[in-house]
Amino acid sequence: MTMTLLTIIQEFSKTKVLCIGDIMLDHFMYGKVSRISPEAPVPIFHFSDEKSMLGGAGNVVANLRAIGCPTTFLGVIGNDASGQKIVTLLDETGCHSKLLKAKDIPTIVKTRFIAGHNHLLRADFEEKLPMPDDLIPRLLKLLHQAILSVDIVLLSDYDKGVLNDILTPKIIKICQELNKPVLVDPKTINYHRYYGATLVKPNLKEFSAVTGLSLNPTDKDFLNVVKEKSKALFKKFKIGGIVLTLSEYGMLYIDAKHPDDLLQIPTKAREVYDVSGAGDTSLAVLGASIGAGASVEQAIQLANTASGIVVAKLGTATVSRDELIERIQETEDDFGVSKILTIDQAKKLFPMLKSKGKKIGFTNGCFDLIHLGHLSSLKQAKEYCDILVVGVNSDASIKRYKGSDRPIQNEETRSNILAALEVVDYVIVFNDDTALPLVQAIRPDIIAKEGYTLDQWPEAQWLIKNGGKAINLKRIEGHSTTSQIEKMKG
């Protein structure tokens, strides 16, 4: 079954994700600057508020939970107050965490000083130390069962020691043995560490570093260089694909099987206040989408949309499921999301729309030759609902009803014409003699048609019995498909 972007989002609540990586504490100090210090040419920061959030791989977890994914996190923290704060914050997200405490490694804390919408300074409290030897066997012991119980594994590598050259290849190998996709957000140029990963998601700076080139998306030969360098990485490290994030230039996808067929998606950001954590957001949504059964292309579209939302927020932010749904609904046509649904897609999509307070309306017909009467009925029906769904008789259904010389236009043409109308939100082709089975399947709030009394309208009778409402629309006389056909014959 073909999935739409909205039905993919609905699947997030059933998509189990394991995130492994370097977790840290993001601390934000908020205030304002109104003058320069007399002691030195530096701004005086007048403190007003502070907030702590999950950072690094923790921000990936926060985003996964915000979009509704059941999430497990595996990582290492220091045995200190900042580490305990991370435990509390993870618990607040509802994440199932498996944290090992390192005695001699302090929890990483990044403190940002922000005045208005401007970053003034970032102070990092960290020591980059090797992963303690005693923790690696303990992590490996947890891995197999953790990977077995999820749909996808995300590796958030900030090159702080957890995803080192010993542990990372073992994780990927277990994923391969259990047939689980594994996505990597890399920070090191040592791609031997990521050998055999399903996808690797570098940003432009990271991709430039691993290729040894200074790359710019505005260069004339940029895409050709990316293709050739990606082919070399595929050959050497057996990576399944690369998702290259390009900030304001969007995202690029290079598939190892078809490296010459680049997929480029423009950015969807409206305003950019803060790029902190945008890579974590895109990794979370990319992974959740693939884990939910989306194609890589669809997953990239959703990840790109999510990144566009989060950069308009200040600080290490997340994107919620509802925000993602709202933005996809606003930009549906940009993503090529079909307005023509199967019944199964509709049964998944409409409850989600209803949960957001949307009123679903339904009408149906053959719509063989669209005329003024059809347009009038559709406009009237739309006035009673937020989402207008149009059921369209299939070719076979019309032949049984109208005769062998009908329809004049096939079901694909008819449904696409209706989908092109602004007043129509979704179209569903049905093969039954009446629309009753379709109405019973999608359970709209309102049904609307013209020319039917209730005793001749079984779909309306059923819907009223089940709490819905029936609307009898006004007919514009002198307009019918039959009369149009007769005029053409004459």
Kindly report, residue by residue over 378-418, the tens digit of the pLDDT. Answer: 999 999 999 999 999 998 988 888 888 778 888 888 888 89
User: How many CA atoms lie less than 13 Å away from 294 in the CB half-sphere?
Assistant: 27
Last residue of a domain, one of 271, 305, 335: 335
Alpha carbons 472 and 407: distance in angstroms, whole number: 26
Torsion over CA of 291, 292, 298 and 302, rounded to 10 degrees? -90
Please choose, from the candidates 23, 30, 85, the residue with its C-alpha nearest in 3D space to the C-alpha of residue 60: 23
Top-confidence residue, 190 or 269: 190
Check residue 177 and give its pLDDT.
94
Alpha carbons 383 and 239: distance in angstroms, whole number: 52
Classify 13 as helix, strand or coil: helix
Helices 135-148 and 167-177: crossing angle, nearest 10°?
A: 20
Locate all alpha helices (DSSP H) within 113-155, ordered by sequence.
135-148
Q: Rounded to whole angstroms, what are the CA distances from 190 to 178, 187, 235, 361?
A: 25, 9, 15, 55
* pLDDT average, residue stretch 318-324: 86
- Greatest mean pLDDT range, 47-61, 268-282, 321-335, 351-365: 47-61
Please choose, from the candidates 186, 279, 262, 187, the residue with its C-alpha nearest in 3D space to the C-alpha of residue 222: 262
Check residue 157 and give its pLDDT.
94
Whether residue 315 contacts residue 122, with contact meaning beta carbons closer than 8 Å, is answered with no
Please choose, from the candidates 457, 364, 351, 472, the residue with its C-alpha nearest in 3D space to the C-alpha of residue 418: 364
* pLDDT average, residue stretch 100-115: 89
* pLDDT average, residue stretch 424-435: 92
Alpha carbons 417 and 412: distance in angstroms, whole number: 9
Beta bridge partners of 265: 251
Whether residue 68 contacts residue 12, with contact meaning beta carbons closer than 8 Å, is answered with yes
Q: What is the mean pLDDT of the chain?
A: 87
Check residue 270 and give its pLDDT.
46
Phi/psi-derived region of residue 265, left when phi > 0, alpha when psi is between -120 and 50, beta in every other case = beta
Least confident of 91-100, 230-239, 317-326, 472-481: 472-481
Check residue 118 and give its pLDDT.
84
**Is the pLDDT confidence value at 141 over 70?**
yes
Top-confidence residue, 209 or 314: 209
Whichever domain contains 20, its CATH number is: 3.40.1190.20
93 with 112, same domain?
yes
Check residue 454 and give its pLDDT.
84
* pLDDT average, residue stretch 404-433: 87
Q: Rounded to whole angstroms, what are the CA distances from 445 to 227, 365, 378, 385, 389?
A: 50, 18, 16, 8, 11
**Is the pLDDT confidence value at 178 over 70?**
yes
What whole-number percentage of the chain has pLDDT above 90? 54
Beta bridge partners of 52: 27
* pLDDT average, residue stretch 335-343: 69
Least confident of 89-98, 142-151, 277-286, 336-345: 336-345
Check residue 186 and give its pLDDT.
95
**Is the pLDDT confidence value at 354 over 90?**
no
Alpha carbons 448 and 38: distance in angstroms, whole number: 73
* pLDDT average, residue stretch 32-56: 92
pLDDT band at 271 (very low <50, low <70, confident <90, very high): very low
253 with 377, same domain?
no
Top-confidence residue, 408 or 133: 408
Whether residue 360 contacts residue 396, with contact meaning beta carbons closer than 8 Å, is answered with no
Whether residue 268 contacts residue 304, with contact meaning beta carbons closer than 8 Å, is answered with yes
**Is the pLDDT confidence value at 333 over 70?**
no
* pLDDT average, residue stretch 279-302: 92
270 with 316, same domain?
yes
Check residue 336 and give its pLDDT.
40
**407 cis-preceded (ω within 30 degrees of 0):** yes
415 with 266, same domain?
no
Cβ count near 162 (within 10 Å): 26
Please choose, from the candidates 312, 227, 212, the residue with its C-alpha nearest in 3D space to the C-alpha of residue 264: 227
Least confident of 53-57, 85-89, 114-118, 436-440: 114-118
Q: Rounded to whole angstroms, what are the CA distances from 408 to 370, 371, 429, 486?
A: 11, 14, 16, 12
Check residue 409 and give its pLDDT.
85
Backbone φ, ψ for residue 110 (5° rounding): -115, 120
57 with 135, same domain?
yes
Burial 184-218 (b: 16+ CB within 10 A, else e): bbbbbbebebbeebbbbbbbbebbbbbbeeebebe
pLDDT band at 420 (very low <50, low <70, confident <90, very high): confident
**Is the pLDDT confidence value at 45 over 50?**
yes
* pLDDT average, residue stretch 225-252: 92
**H/E run at residue 309:** helix 296-310
Q: Rounded to whole angstroms, what are the CA distances from 128 to 20, 122, 162, 231?
A: 18, 17, 11, 32
pTM over 0.75: no
Sheet with 17-21, side-by-side order of all strands: 96-102, 71-78, 17-21, 152-156, 182-185, 199-200, 241-245, 251-255, 263-265
| Residues contacting residue 171 through CB under 8 Å, at least 6 positions apart | 20, 143, 147, 153, 155, 163, 182
Top-confidence residue, 482 or 377: 377
Check residue 299 and give its pLDDT.
92
pLDDT band at 342 (very low <50, low <70, confident <90, very high): confident
317 with 405, same domain?
no
209 with 356, same domain?
no
Alpha carbons 143 and 82: distance in angstroms, whole number: 25
Top-confidence residue, 218 or 240: 240
**Is the pLDDT confidence value at 459 over 50?**
yes
Concerning whether 455 is annotated as a catalytic residue, the answer is: no
pLDDT one-digit tens code per residue, 399-408? 888 888 778 8
324 with 353, same domain?
no
Check residue 477 and give its pLDDT.
62
Last residue of a domain, one of 318, 335, 352: 335
Whether residue 445 contacts residue 464, with contact meaning beta carbons closer than 8 Å, is answered with no
Check residue 366 and give its pLDDT.
87
Check residue 67 and give its pLDDT.
94
297 with 381, same domain?
no
Torsion over CA of 63, 69, 75 and 78, rounded to 10 degrees? 50
Structure tokens at 316: 């290490």
Check residue 90 and give its pLDDT.
95
Q: Which of 157, 255, 280, 445 is labelled catalytic?
A: 280
Check residue 304 and give its pLDDT.
87
Q: Give residue 474's domain range.
A: 344-489
Check residue 135 and give its pLDDT.
78
User: For the chain, what is the domain count?
Assistant: 2
323 with 468, same domain?
no
**Is the pLDDT confidence value at 484 over 70?**
no
Last residue of a domain, one of 335, 364, 392: 335
215 with 118, same domain?
yes
305 with 379, same domain?
no
117 burial via Cβ count (<10 Å: 0-12, 13-18, 19+): exposed
Whichever domain contains 348, its CATH number is: 3.40.50.620
